[in-house]
Structure 1
Amino acid sequence: MSTWREDLDTSSEMFSLMQSIFANVSDAILVVDRDGLIVKVNAALEQMTGWTEKELVGIKHICELCLGMATCMEETSCADCFFKQVQMPSFEMRLRTRDGRDYPVAASSARLPDGANGELVMVIRDMSAQQRAEKERYQHKLTNYAIAAQEEERKRIARELHDGVGQALYSILVGLNVVGQGHLSDPIRQHVNDLLQMTSKAMEEVKRMALELRPSALDDLGLLPALRSLMKRVEKSFDIQVELHVQGERRRYSAAMETALYRIVQEAMTNTAKYAKASQLGIVFEDREKEVVVTIVDDGVGFEVEKALHTGKGLGIFGMKERAQLLGGTVDIRSAPDEGTTVIVRIPVSKEET
Structure 2
Amino acid sequence: MKPDPNSNASGEVPYRALVEQSLVGIYVIQDSVLRYANAAFAHMTGFQPEEIVGQRLADLVSPGSLDEVQRKETERLLQGSSIRYLTRGRHKDGRDIDLEVHGSAVEFNGRPAVAGVAIDVSERLRYERELDASREELRELTTHLNSVREQQRATIAREVHDVLGGILTGIKMDANRILEREPTSELGAITRDLLASVQEGIDVVREISESLYPAVLDYLGLEAAIRHHLDRFCPRHGLRPMVEITREAAPLSSLQKLAAYRIFQESLTNVVRHAQATQVVVRIEVDEARFDLFVEDDGVGIKSSRHRRGGMGLISMRERAREVGGEFSARPGPTCGTCIQLTLPLGDGRRSA
> TM-score, normalised to structure 2's length?
0.63
- Counterpart contact for 1:218–1:226, Cα < 8 Å: yes
Q: Aligned with 1:252: secondary structure?
A: coil
CA-to-aligned-CA distance 1:284-332 (integer Å, 9 cap, x gap): 10113322111111223x24431x4433252222211221122333322
Q: Please, which moves more after superposition, 166-175 or 283-292?
A: 283-292
Q: Which residue of 2 aligns with 1:271?
A: 270
> How far apart are the structure 1 equivalents of 2:151 and 2:183?
47
Q: Which residue of 1 aligns with 2:313?
A: 316
- Counterpart contact for 2:252–2:347, Cα < 8 Å: no
Q: Which residue of 1 aligns with 2:340?
A: 343
The letter of the residue matching 2:303 is V
CA-to-aligned-CA distance 1:188-231 (integer Å, 9 cap, x gap): 33332222111111110110011011111112222112112112
Q: Aligned with 1:314: secondary structure?
A: coil
> How far apart are the structure 1 equivalents of 2:44 and 2:30?
16
> How far apart are the structure 1 equivalents of 2:178 and 2:51?
97
> How far apart are the structure 2 equivalents of 1:148 and 1:136?
18
- Counterpart contact for 2:289–2:346, Cα < 8 Å: yes
Q: Which residue of 1 aligns with 2:97?
A: 124
Residue 109 of structure 1, CA deviation: 7.2
- Counterpart contact for 1:328–1:347, Cα < 8 Å: yes
Structure 2 CA distance for partners of 1:20 and 1:224, relative to 1, 3 Å:
farther
CA-to-aligned-CA distance 1:37-88 (integer Å, 9 cap, x gap): x99799xxxxxxxxxxxxxxxxxxxxxxxxxxxxxxxxxxxxxxxxxxxxxx
The letter of the residue matching 2:147 is A
- Counterpart contact for 2:34–2:52, Cα < 8 Å: no
Structure 2 CA distance for partners of 1:109 and 1:246, relative to 1, 3 Å:
same
Q: Aligned with 1:334: secondary structure?
A: strand
Q: Does 1:206 align with 2:213?
A: no
> How far apart are the structure 1 equivalents of 2:52 and 2:178?
94
Q: Aligned with 2:181: secondary structure?
A: coil
- Counterpart contact for 1:30–1:123, Cα < 8 Å: no
Map 1:150-299 → 2, pairs under 5 A? 150-183=149-182, 186-248=185-247, 250-273=249-272, 275-299=274-298
> How far apart are the structure 2 equivalents of 1:320 and 1:280?
21
Q: Which residue of 2 aligns with 1:147?
A: 146
- Counterpart contact for 1:31–1:40, Cα < 8 Å: no
- Counterpart contact for 2:256–2:349, Cα < 8 Å: no
> How far apart are the structure 2 equivalents of 1:41 and 1:135?
38
Q: 2:328 aligns with which of 326, 331, 338?
A: 331
Q: Which structure 1 segments of 5+ residues have no match?
A: 1-13, 43-88, 90-106, 112-119
Structure 2 CA distance for partners of 1:16 and 1:279, relative to 1, 3 Å:
same
Q: Which residue of 1 aligns with 2:303?
A: 305
Q: Aligned with 2:45: secondary structure?
A: strand
Q: Which residue of 2 aligns with 1:96?
A: none
> How far apart are the structure 1 equivalents of 2:190 and 2:50?
96
Q: Aligned with 2:252: secondary structure?
A: coil
Q: Which residue of 2 aligns with 1:17?
A: 32
CA-to-aligned-CA distance 1:158-206 (integer Å, 9 cap, x gap): 1111111111101111111111222378543333222211111111011
Residue 16 of structure 1, CA deviation: 5.4
> How far apart are the structure 1 equivalents of 2:284 and 2:272?
19
Residue 122 of structure 1, CA deviation: 3.9
Q: Does 1:31 align with 2:46?
A: yes
> TM-score, normalised to structure 1's length?
0.63
> How far apart are the structure 1 equivalents of 2:214 and 2:165?
15
Structure 2 CA distance for partners of 1:303 and 1:39, relative to 1, 3 Å:
farther
> How far apart are the structure 1 equivalents of 2:240 and 2:188?
40
- Counterpart contact for 2:289–2:345, Cα < 8 Å: yes
Residue 275 of structure 1, CA deviation: 4.6
Q: Which structure 2 segments of 5+ residues have no match?
A: 1-28, 54-62, 64-87, 99-121
The letter of the residue matching 1:202 is G
The letter of the residue matching 1:349 is L
Residue 265 of structure 1, CA deviation: 0.8
Equivalences, count: 262
- Counterpart contact for 2:157–2:213, Cα < 8 Å: yes
- Counterpart contact for 1:240–1:278, Cα < 8 Å: yes
Structure 2 CA distance for partners of 1:288 and 1:136, relative to 1, 3 Å:
farther
